[in-house]
A and B are shown apart, each in its own frame.
Chain A
């Protein structure tokens, strides 16, 4: 794969690869590759030197100058000073000289290797040993370099300064899965720690800087990796190389002196003085140093600056580099376009599917399944209609006129128990639960600390100290985390245990005027009469040896029961209820009809509880009354939340024959210009078979929300506008007569 970089290593030997395409196709292409074995031959990155005015144009890494010349045929300067602490930059000096530049080498080491000095002499290169750059002159580009030597500080005219402070092995990829780099004295740098089985390192990445040494190590690692993958056979011997190799014998550059800023991180403008200040302020840990100075937060993520900063801090602390520490490396190693990561929707990637205990039945009986979060839920049943628009209306009619069965196993279910359970619920819900009688259920709304509605659901009191809470499907995990967080931090004195029992129960809703008859037929031993099981009542029993819990609750606005049963008895209970319901005209219905039924009834759900709305916005403020002391109580009374023009829940009826409302439409007053964000938006819509027109819920500015008046719903995506009448959000049975009796 040419032009491709590995940017991350993940569990299971998965590599993230990004290909930078230059053929006019996609700019970047993402590949997730699962490897049996990995050989890390990631090389090393040259370190710059830190000295006064080292940010002047004309200063570059010695390896960069060689790349300009050898790869792009560009001579970056005609009079060059090569300042180095190691052998590798000498190659730059030789290459530049051969290309016609006048070169001076300043090597910090007092006695560089004789063969380097001999080659320099042959090429006519001026050499200063035990020398370093004391400062530069030139503002818009470098004009001269002052070299500090034992014998003085000669000023050398130049237009290019090539620097090399040694090399840092590229340990990023090997660190992504938690292998900490270890400090290696002989190269004055970090190399990968012990790699897991199936991963191998070779070359400069492991501190083997000499070319011949790296080639041998690469071949060895390749053979080991192949053997790990089960490959056998004879591999050719590595070539015998006599490259007169240049091996780094490192010498640490001392702290810079002199006037002018000495940059450690050229991207984030972090200087040696900034690091000294961090040290004086007590930010000695590498992690604190980063955050105090922003070191390493540029696009190179500290690749060229980390080691120099570590060395500076170690010197200030009079500590060693390993004692000073190293930073954590995280993917991506190299910048990646968001577009490459997002890609287009193909398949399901790494997303798991969650299936309800009744999933197989749905698939075998004509359900069109829909992804709802991670869950697969029946969208509609093909027996109800040719497409979703036809089917959901049929399924709605069935529930309103007879009964329907809905798989609601996806609801979050939480066991809450303990001597202080009622007090706890009183605090987490905006409405009260302490006085809820045993055997009764109540609808509850939770707020966030900032007064915004967090989630809603019902909670049933099973015993004096035990409650059964349900949450919305989407927020099941969030609610449990929230409850645990509050118990751990806000009220540790409360004796309450919260446990997710979501997977323990299969759940189904039987809704419609015939629902009680169906239950009585399915469970003839149970008394499900209105007296024994009134609206918001609860009944516990067993079915086929498994716990059975029936709670009379309604989401659709019809008389309805939620039937909970041990997971493995879920499908059996479902089919029992369907058989019992068949003579009454009951069939299963999907989430499209469920959503439409709740719109008719004016129940809010995810589109309305969208992380921006308050209890008052949703018309639920009266549930709270004068209660106080619950989560979100104080901030829900902020003046901004009580402003008269704040958007609040309204109902909308389509006022034009032959037209429809659309979810997401923007609302305007009739005389408003149709542009901008308008006065509100349509959150949910449905065709109402009962009213024979489209109805919807909307959030509309309070000063515009006058019942009986009209608004214009604009849907720019389809260039549609339609007039809609503002009405109560409860379109059906406002007195709730269908629920009782």
Chain B
């Protein structure tokens, strides 16, 4: 556990964290998951909060119908094409915070 009482050893770094948010519409989740899994070449995390590491990216299920694809190495996260009838994707650039 971090010692919150004496934060002298604490440092914070911030850097760009390119990510793509992908979301399916209500009612199309099954087809969407199959399509996305095929496009990424890996099974998707099954439960909210689960993470799957694949190649140089992390796939996180952040909500029942919402995934984040986070690049861990390359400058850009993978950006699979999403059929607008099944869902949508939005590139984002959340700041990643690291603490020590």
Write the residues of chain A forming the contact surface with B, with a CB cutoff of 8 angstroms: 12-13, 34-36, 197, 415, 417-419, 465, 492-493, 495, 497, 499, 501, 503-504, 566-568
Contacts and interface: CB of A to CB of B under 8 A. Distances in A.
Nearest to A12: B4
Interface of B: 1, 4-5, 16, 21, 23, 25-26, 66, 84-85, 87-88, 90, 92-95
Contact of A504 (B4, B25, B87, B93): B93
B94 A497 contact: no
A12 B4 CA distance: 7
B88 A567 contact: no
A188 to B, nearest CB: 36
Nearest to A567: B93
Given A492-B26, A493-B26, 6 more contacts: A417-B90, A418-B84, A495-B26, A503-B95, A566-B93, A567-B16
Contacts of B88: 417-418, 465, 497
A238 B85 CA distance: 74
A389 to B, nearest CB: 37
Contact of B21 (A13, A34, A499, A567): A499
A13 B5 CA distance: 9
A5 to B, nearest CB: 22
B4 to A, nearest CB: 5
A206 B93 CA distance: 50
10 contacts: A13-B4, A417-B88, A417-B90, A465-B84, A492-B26, A493-B26, A495-B25, A501-B90, A504-B92, A504-B94
Nearest to A357: B95
Contact of B85 (A12, A419, A499): A419
B37 to A, nearest CB: 19
Contacts of A504: 92-94
A279 B50 CA distance: 43
B67 to A, nearest CB: 12
B97 to A, nearest CB: 12
Given A197-B1, A568-B16, A419 B84 contact: yes
Nearest to B86: A495
A535 B87 CA distance: 33
A501 B94 CA distance: 9
Contacts of A35: 5
Contacts of A465: 84, 88
B23 A497 contact: yes
Contacts of B5: 13, 34-36
A495 B28 CA distance: 10
Contacts of B16: 567-568
A737 B1 CA distance: 62
A391 B43 CA distance: 59
B90 A418 contact: no
A486 to B, nearest CB: 14
A499 B62 CA distance: 13
A542 to B, nearest CB: 13
A197 B92 CA distance: 38
A495 B83 CA distance: 12
Contacts of B93: 503-504, 566-568
A34 B6 CA distance: 10
B26 A499 contact: no
Contact of A418 (B1, B21, B25, B66): B25
A12 B85 CA distance: 46
B94 A503 contact: yes
Contacts of B95: 503, 567
A419 B1 CA distance: 46
B4 A34 contact: yes
Given A12-B4, A34-B4, A492-B26, A499 B84 contact: no
A567 B94 CA distance: 9
B3 to A, nearest CB: 8
B92 A501 contact: yes
Contacts of B87: 497
